[in-house]
Amino acid sequence: MPIPELTVEHLEPSVVQLENWRQILRLAKTHSGTLGFLPDSAFADRLRKRTLIAARVDGEVVGYCLYDLPRAGHIKLVHVCVAGDARGLGAGKALIDEAIRRNPSAIGVLAYCRRDYEGLDRFWESAGLSPRGEKAGRAVAGSILCAWWRPLGGLDLLEEAAMGAGLPLVAYDTNVVSDLYASPSVSRPDRESSLGLLAGWLQAAIVPVVSPRVDVELNAISDRGERELQRERSQELMRLRSTRADDNTLLTQLLGQVGDSALSADESLRNDFCHLVDAITAGASFVVTNDENFIHAATRALPDGAGVRVVRPHELVAEMLERLDLPTFRSRLIESLDLEWRPASAWSVEELATKFVTHETQERASTLARRLRAAISQHPTITRVLSDTSGRPLALVAEESVGPVMRVSILRTGRGESSTTIALQLTRHLRSVARQNSLTTIEITDAQSGPVIQSALAQDGYVGSDPPRATLVDGRVSGTKYDIPMLGDEPDLQAVRELERRLWPLVLIDLAVPTYVIPVQPGFAELLFGIDRGALWSDRKRGLGLSREHVYYSGSSRPVPERGSRILWYVTSDRSGTVRKVMAHSRTLDVTRLPPTAAHQANAHLGVFTRRHIEGAASRDGMVTVVRFEDTEILDHPLGGQELEELMRNHSVRHPLMSMRRVDPQFFDSILRRQQQLGAR
């Protein structure tokens, strides 16, 4: 059966056929219920102005377009009408195209259509129009008219500025737009992830845009207030110029790659690919969505070298962070030759969710994955993973600062024998980060962190459960400000330990806590404290490795530091060089005297020293003093030279510092006060 021939033309007043005129008026009256009534004189007026177009099939009028040309410079469509039996031939679009062809200087096409007329959205979109606003209609029942618009001509100044900025074009699909601009009362499961797109540094690095398809989908929101709110708020996003109305070849090709079965299973994919095609034709680098089906379908359908990637919000954030080479988090507390912090975006979200999901609380991996995407999107540089050299994730942390408070939304350790040790170190790590950023409080808002983390928090002095909270007192404070019980002439060392742990990095002075100097060679200090050789001779410092508890071996048999006493670590000299500085301080946990083999067996899980090292430290009687210690802090300003000599004289500490010895507790207090003085310079 031959395809009917469709023709369109502007009618000329002098040559219009009477029968064609009657057919147009008949069509108008037949469809006045949807088009709205116009008197015959209105048609005659447009005929005189040459703004009346007829569509014919085999000579018969099957449709017409009546339009005006306002002073604003656009084409205002008054009626676009096609007979019911002629629909599907493309007559409606052809009529609009003819109006555009006849008026090449027009800046756009505008049409008002009642919202309650179903099925017309696809028609207007096929003609290249998209909804931009609405107003009250004239119907007695209170109709609403939607304004449909298509820009024509060259780019305006804003479009030229955006397209010529030299920044990546990033197209948001409708679910992301709603995440960003919907009212707070609207439930959006991925909103937290999408909000990361509003970060100032990211907005300055991209040009966010949307396909006109976004406006079509926002127009489908049933609640008028919400519809208008999202439409108004999203106007800050530049609308792309779609070419699908003139050439849908690319859309057809991509949908063909998706396949009929996938399109039948998820009808929204057709709309999703409209976003993608508009992004491709505009030269966008990314399409951002939270629709997993869309991501998978686009990955399969896009050819190599397409130039555009379909990603989730957190993936865009991570990609742009890497492109801009912005600084990422580096801890001074958990660093060693074997461990490092890396951005969580270096792993797939699904891998991390599976690794760190808390089964004890019946948490779902999908729930953790959603929270993690939000954290990476909003806080990419401080949502991080502790891993070993093989890339195996050991811990996961996500935090943010709110005023003086650090809120930790995700705090996890992997399962395994080291989980307890890692958890204890993480609790101190968070304190250290808060301290570096001058924060005073830490709140653990991760309700699914699990029993291992909860136990570590309790041990480290975090109080409460909703949420667990730690308070920091950063400084050296006189013990007289606290009610420390006394045991004879000395303070209760357990009470001192508990208070300093609860308020770390608080260090109490003026309490006459027993104090010992332990000399250590530079080579052993490098092993023991994780201080590299360069740091031993400079102010560049690194924190301890993973374990918060360490062990040191000495051949000295006396005096023996009691539990809870202070240790000042004096780095001496060896073949690698001469230091002769007090570099750090710690607190003793336990001191025992053992044969080297027994000492190694009992403490190998804590120490960094080999059995050969321990045997070399043994005294003539074949025994070593095993000093277990905790909470070591590297001094900000290691003391040596004339400064150390002066303090030693003031507190009767004699040379040489070659063996473990007890010293005046005020020697420790003076060193810490000196730190405050040097830090204030």
Fold classified for 157-319: Rossmann fold (3.40.50)
Q: What is the pLDDT of residue 512?
A: 92
Write the pLDDT tens digit of every residue in 164-219: 878 999 999 999 999 999 999 999 999 999 999 998 889 989 999 999 999 999 99
3-state secondary structure of 456: helix
Amino acid 335: pLDDT: 42
Cβ neighbours of residue 246 under 8 Å, at least 6 residues apart? 128
CA distance 382 to 12: 70
d(CA 522, CA 528): 10
Mean pLDDT of 418-447: 89
- Assign 545 a pLDDT band (cuts: 50, 70, 90): very low
d(CA 574, CA 449): 46
- What pLDDT is stored for residue 421 in this prediction? 78
The confidence score (pLDDT) of residue 327 equals: 52
Q: What is the CATH number of domain 514-679?
A: 2.30.130.30
- Higher local confidence (pLDDT), 574 or 153: 153
**C-alpha neighbours within 13 Å on the C-beta side of residue 247:** 7
Query: Which of 3.10.20.30, 3.40.630.30, 3.10.129.10, 3.40.190.10 is the CATH number of 328-471?
Result: 3.40.630.30
Side chain identity at residue 464, one-letter code: G
What confidence tier does 561 reach under pLDDT thresholds 50, 70, 90? confident
Instruction: Give the pLDDT confidence score for residue 58 in this predicted structure.
Output: 86
CA 664-651-516 angle, to 5 degrees, is: 35
Please, are residues 552 and 520 in contact by the beta-carbon 8 Å criterion?
Answer: yes
Distance CA 338, CA 351 (A): 21
Output the CA torsion sign for 225, 230, 232, 233.
positive
pLDDT band at 160 (very low <50, low <70, confident <90, very high): confident
CA dihedral 217, 219, 223, 226 (to 10 degrees): 80
Quickly state the pLDDT bin for 338 (edges 50, 70, 90). low
For residue 440, CA distances in Å to 330, 412, 430, 469 come to: 20, 22, 11, 11
Per-residue pLDDT at 1 exceeds 60 = no
Q: How many CB atoms lie within 10 A of CB 22?
A: 11
Confidence band (pLDDT; 50, 70, 90) for 606?
low
Contact present, 240 and 282 (Cβ < 8 Å)? yes
User: How far apart (Å, rounded) are the C-alpha atoms in residues 102 and 553?
Assistant: 94
Q: What is the DSSP letter of 24?
A: H
On the question of a cis peptide bond just before residue 467, with omega within 30 degrees of 0, the verdict is yes
Q: Give the pLDDT mean for 606-625.
A: 80
Handedness of CA 251, 254, 260, 265 (dihedral sign): negative
Answer yes or no: is pLDDT of 337 > 60.
no
pLDDT band at residue 539 using 50, 70 and 90 as cut-offs: very low
Look at residue 552 and tell me whether its pLDDT is greater than 50. Answer: yes
DSSP assignment of 272-330: HHHHHHHHHHHT-SEEE---HHHHHHHHHHSPTT-S-EEE-HHHHHHHHHHHHT-----
Distance of CA 17 to the CA centre of its chain: 66
- Measured CA to CA, the distance from residue 103 to residue 101 in angstroms comes to 5
Q: Evaluate whether 550 touches 606 at the Cβ level (below 8 Å).
A: yes
Rounded Cα distance, 386 and 416, in Å? 14
Q: Which of 533, 522, 428 is nearest to 472 (CA)?
A: 428
What are the Cα distances from residue 331, in Å, to 128, 285, 549, 567?
53, 33, 18, 25
Q: Give dist(CA 62, CA 59) in Å, integer.
A: 9
Cβ neighbors of 29 (< 8 A, separation 6 or more) are: none
Q: Which of 318, 279, 324, 313 is nearest to 298 (CA)?
A: 279
More confident residue, 631 or 301: 301
DSSP assignment of 228-283 equals HHHHHHGGGSEEP---TTT--HHHHHHHHHH-HHHHHH-THHHHHHHHHHHHHHHT
Q: How far apart are CA 274 and CA 259, in angstroms?
A: 16
Cβ-contact 471, 441 below 8 angstroms? yes
Coil, helix or strand at residue 193? helix
For 112-154, write each residue's pLDDT tens digit.
998 888 778 889 999 999 999 998 876 545 678 999 999 999 8
Mean pLDDT, range 563-567, rounded to an integer: 93
* Contact (CB, 8 A) for 435 and 505: yes
For the chain, which residues make up each domain, given as ranges? Answer: 6-151, 157-319, 328-471, 514-679
d(CA 148, CA 144) in angstroms, rounded, equals 13
Q: Mean pLDDT of all residues in the chain?
A: 88
Residue 155 has pLDDT above 90, yes or no: no
Share of the chain above pLDDT 70, in %: 92
How deeply is 293 buried, as exposed, middle or buried, from its count of CB atoms within 10 A (0-12, 13-18, 19+)? middle
Q: Is the pLDDT of residue 365 over 70?
A: yes
From 72-76, 537-541, 637-641, the region with the lowest mean pLDDT:
537-541
Q: Alpha-carbon distance 256 to 260, whole Å?
A: 7
pLDDT at 123: 92
**Pairwise CA distance, residues 375 & 379, whole Å:** 6
For residue 559, cis peptide bond before it (omega within 30 degrees of 0): yes
**pLDDT, tens digit (0-9, with 9 covering 90-100), for 238-264:** 999 999 999 999 999 999 999 999 999
What is the distance between the alpha carbons of residues 484 and 491, in angstroms, rounded to a whole number? 7
Residue 669 near residue 509, CB atoms below 8 Å: yes
C-alpha to C-alpha distance for 515 and 585, rounded to whole angstroms: 10
Q: Which residues pair with 591 in a beta bridge?
A: 627
Average pLDDT over residues 392-412: 95
Residue 48 has pLDDT above 70, yes or no: yes
State yes or no: cis peptide before 404, omega within 30 of 0.
Answer: no
Which residue, 49, 53, 54, 99, is CA-closest to 74? 99
Domain 6-151 belongs to what architecture? 3-Layer(aba) Sandwich (3.40)
What is the model's pLDDT at position 680?
64
pLDDT at site 585: 93
Do the two domains 6-151 and 328-471 of this chain adopt the same fold?
yes
d(CA 159, CA 161): 5
- Residue 457's pLDDT band (cuts 50, 70, 90): very high
- For a pLDDT cut of 90, what percent of the chain falls above it? 58
Q: How does pLDDT run across 468-484, given as a tens digit for each residue? A: 999 999 888 998 899 99
Segment 458-464 mean pLDDT:
90
3-state SS track over 38-68: CCHHHHHHHHHCCCEEEEEECCEEEEEEEEE
The contacts of residue 68 (CB under 8 Å, 6+ apart) are 46, 51, 75, 76, 78
